[in-house]
A and B are shown apart, each in its own frame.
Chain A
Amino acid sequence: MNELYLVLYGYIPYAVVAIFLVGIVYRMVTWVTAKGLVGLYNANVCLYRDGWGSTTAEVLKRIFIFYTLPGRDRDWSLFIGSFLFHWGIWIALIGHLGVIIPGTYLEKWFGLTPSLHQMIALYVGGTAGTIALIGLLILIARRITGRTITVRVMNEYKVRIPLRMFSFLDDYFAVAILLAIIVLGLYQTLGITPYNPAYVDVISKWMWSLVTLHPSIEPIMSYPILQVHALLAMIFIAYFPWSKMMHPFSFLFMPTIARPAIKVKTTEMG
């Protein structure tokens, strides 16, 4: 049994990281090497954006503030859901550094005392996880319930958005696994850590053993919630590069966004 645990939580994490990194590079290479463009040229999806500065700004705005998401005929559910989910996840992921690096190093390197660390984990981590959960629930709700958006011209056009019709197993798999990871993560942050201050050390002992290439699974043997959370996370990380979860990286390569438009010179006209 211990051997199985050792393989699962001691060796497989390395394979998962390798699959993740190789997969991401592989997917990016497939995007870069697909050199053809429809109709031999490229047309942007932004007006008068013909410089590299504005192109970079466009890419960053789309990644970090989701500014196009409400759309012209305001569908706030996608904007709010995405904004909450992504920012919640990003903050929570940064917070995970605190469970990878042992407390002694956190204090030595960053001056983070155990009590301060616990407070940040509880309040910042708890808030981030809750925000991510709310965001994800909004996104799931809009996917499985039939929604109607109103497009106002002179009359109002009620536009049915039949997302269920266009959602498949891969879409549901990604959101289901994310939901489980967030719920379990949140439970550990809000339900275990406040009552067991040593819990963070338990996790970091295991994680740090992986980082230092001396895997030790002893610290987590008696924490089943943590084991399930970690297992689901490993499945998700390995799945990530082969799925649509790659979408944040697409902004760097999308021909309609990541290239400046051709500029018309209007200075010399006869």
Chain B
Amino acid sequence: MSFDKVFKERPFKWGDVSNFMHYLADEKLVSRLHEAIKFKQPVATDEEKVEYFRRRLLEEYENNKNVRMAVDVCVHCGQCLNACPTYITTGDPYNSPLGRAELIRAVIKADKVSGKLFGKAVGAVRKIDMDYIRKVYTYYWLCLICRRCGYACPFGVEQTDVTRVVRGILYEMGMASRFTALTVDAHWKSGNNMNLTPGAVKSIIDFVVKEIKQEKGIELKVKIDEPAYALLLPSSADYFMNMETLKGYLLFLYAAGIDYTLSTRAAETANFGLFLHPKHLQGLAEKYVSVARELGVKLVIAGECGHAWRAHKNYTLPRLREYGIELVHIHHLVAKAIREGKIKLNPEANGNIIYTYQDPCQYARGGDLTEEPRFILSHVAKRWVDPEHNRSWTWCCGGQGGNLTDEVVPLVTQYARLWYEEALRKDAQWVIRPCSICKAQLSHVIPYLNKMYGKEIKYSGLMDLVYRALVI
């Protein structure tokens, strides 16, 4: 299988996953990213980096409410430990919300009076050096940013917020995960994560339109870069990895009579800035805002992608509203069309398979999108089951937060056991995870999991089923 070499080179060991450090982006790549957000890296030597890390962390502690309260309020009750998929499946205490938190609390504590007086007894670190920072880098990039810890914490302390801050500081020092850095770089350059050119987007849409004609007997006219009521943002992976999902968007929007356009400048819905640095999150989101304004749309429709939906709902949407533009998820539209009787669906088209709906973590924890997909599924599938850990307690696919990168596949295969076993527990044959990262992660790990458990679980998005069920 495709990742056999990584499995040999980086074996998984219970209790210690420090061998899964993400590859670092090279200097050239990092400086390109810095240019994109007009940031000048202030440190070069190890000594400068160590001091910068300490100083920036203290700055964030002073000025950032999430960080301040996380450090001030956590009483070490441990509720986050048995909620965190990275800890449950690896047993490495540092690969847990509390473990990660302590790595940086130790630095902050060292600067406080109690830390200066009592040192290690109150958890203050004695010495910060590059080895310590590499440890921080390793474990902070292994966090899935799935937010399950925040939902478990009685005080709502969300360690993933701290994760994002720490990753941001590391990035400013020139330390970024290569995979995420490459993805963000591609997005800045081409408007999408996969470096799709405008020509490629148009050719793929031509191809997809032909397929729909063959399969459904309808010749769609798809606007690209033209003024329309709505702008559709599919994930760039939908253009070649999840084509059934893409077909689902196009056919549904035709059936519902919505005037929409695609954009070659925004052939994407993702925002990997979420995993890297707030300035990249902001910059990439602003690209969507400017495309929507240039096309004069009134509505932006986000495609199936969990982290993208979280970034859109919480950041892009308020920005779009400043210009009188609304933003919804494609599932909102499908659910509404079903309720209003605008579309006809035949669940028989999706066979007798037992489907299971597994909430992408960023829909259920940060996106308020759990009921619409279930409503849709109940109209497009004859049989489906909810997992025991559903909605806010869903398990992350294992690839969120930048962990789709090849060098950690043996580790994230462990992370993925939780949702996989959840499907087996309900005798499901097909997992629905309407998220681009989930689908990519499943393509990596399902061959290994199927072999490990001797099963044949399949997967797809939800719009794939809508496509098959739509009666035109």
Contacts and interface: CB of A to CB of B under 8 A. Distances in A.
B392 A78 contact: no
Contacts of A46: 151, 392
Contacts of B299: 268-270
A192 interface: no
Given A34-B64, A71-B152, A154-B421, A43 B389 contact: no
Given A149-B82, A153-B418, A270-B259, A35 B63 contact: yes
Interface in B356-377: 364-366, 368, 370-371
Given A37-B64, A270-B229, A253 B278 contact: no
Given A151-B418, A253-B65, 10 more contacts: A35-B65, A43-B314, A69-B79, A71-B152, A72-B389, A165-B93, A166-B76, A254-B69, A269-B258, A269-B332
Given A38-B161, A71-B79, A262-B318, A250 B155 contact: yes
B155 A166 contact: no
Interface in B127-173: 147, 150-158, 161-162, 164-165
Contacts of B310: 43
Nearest first, the 7 closest Cβ-Cβ pairs linking A and B are A154-B421, A38-B161, A153-B421, A256-B156, A43-B366, A257-B156, A36-B64
Interface string A15-31: 00000000000010011
Contacts of A161: 78, 81-82
Contact of B368 (A31, A48, A167): A48
Interface stretch (A105-113, A168-176, A195-203, A218-226): A168-176
Contact of A47 (B74, B88, B364): B364
B343 interface: no
A50 B299 CA distance: 21
B6 to A, nearest CB: 24
Interface stretch (B33-41, B48-56, B114-122, B439-447): B114-122
Nearest to A143: B76
Interface stretch (B204-212, B322-330, B345-353): B322-330
B468 interface: no
Contacts of B76: 143, 163, 166-168, 171
A50 B317 CA distance: 15
Interface string B301-345: 000000000110111011000000011110011001000000000
A136 to B, nearest CB: 13
Contact-size category for A: 35 or more
B126 to A, nearest CB: 14
B176 interface: no
B282 interface: yes
Contacts of B258: 269-270
Contacts of A247: 73, 75, 155
A244 B82 contact: no
B462 interface: no
B328 A72 contact: no
B238 interface: no
Contact of B422 (A34, A142, A154, A168): A154
A262 B154 CA distance: 22
9 contacts: A31-B72, A40-B282, A78-B78, A153-B422, A161-B78, A162-B93, A163-B77, A169-B121, A169-B122
Nearest to B333: A269
Contacts of B104: none
A162 to B, nearest CB: 6
B251 interface: no
A75 B152 CA distance: 11
B146 to A, nearest CB: 12
Interface in B173-228: none
B82 A73 contact: yes
Contacts of A160: 91
Contact-size category for B: 35 or more
Given A244-B73, A254-B73, A264-B313, A157 B152 contact: no
B370 A157 contact: no
Nearest to A40: B278
A266 interface: yes
Interface string A126-153: 0000000000000000110000010111
Contact of B83 (A27, A69, A71, A244): A71
Nearest to B150: A45
Interface-centre pick from B69, B151, B329 (highest chain A CB count, 10 A): B69
B230 interface: yes
B314 A262 contact: yes
Given A71-B152, A165-B93, A266 B332 contact: yes
B338 to A, nearest CB: 13
Contacts of A255: 65-66, 69
B315 A39 contact: yes
Contact of A265 (B78, B161, B326): B326
B83 A72 contact: yes
Nearest to B114: A170
Contact of A38 (B66, B257, B318, B393): B66
A251 interface: yes
B457 to A, nearest CB: 12
Contacts of B257: 270
Contacts of A34: 62-65, 67-69
B69 A71 contact: no
Given A71-B79, A270-B259, A50 B336 contact: no
A117 B63 CA distance: 49
Contacts of A244: 72-75
A246 B73 contact: yes
A55 B89 CA distance: 33
Contacts of A217: none
A167 B67 CA distance: 19
B253 to A, nearest CB: 9
A159 B78 CA distance: 11
Contacts of B388: 152-153
A237 B440 CA distance: 54
Contact of A154 (B62, B121, B392, B424): B424
B296 interface: no
B273 to A, nearest CB: 8
B259 to A, nearest CB: 6
B281 interface: yes
Interface string B106-126: 000000001000100111000
Contacts of B311: 39
Nearest to B118: A169
A171 B76 CA distance: 8
A250 B123 contact: no
B466 interface: no
B113 to A, nearest CB: 9
Contacts of B313: 262, 264
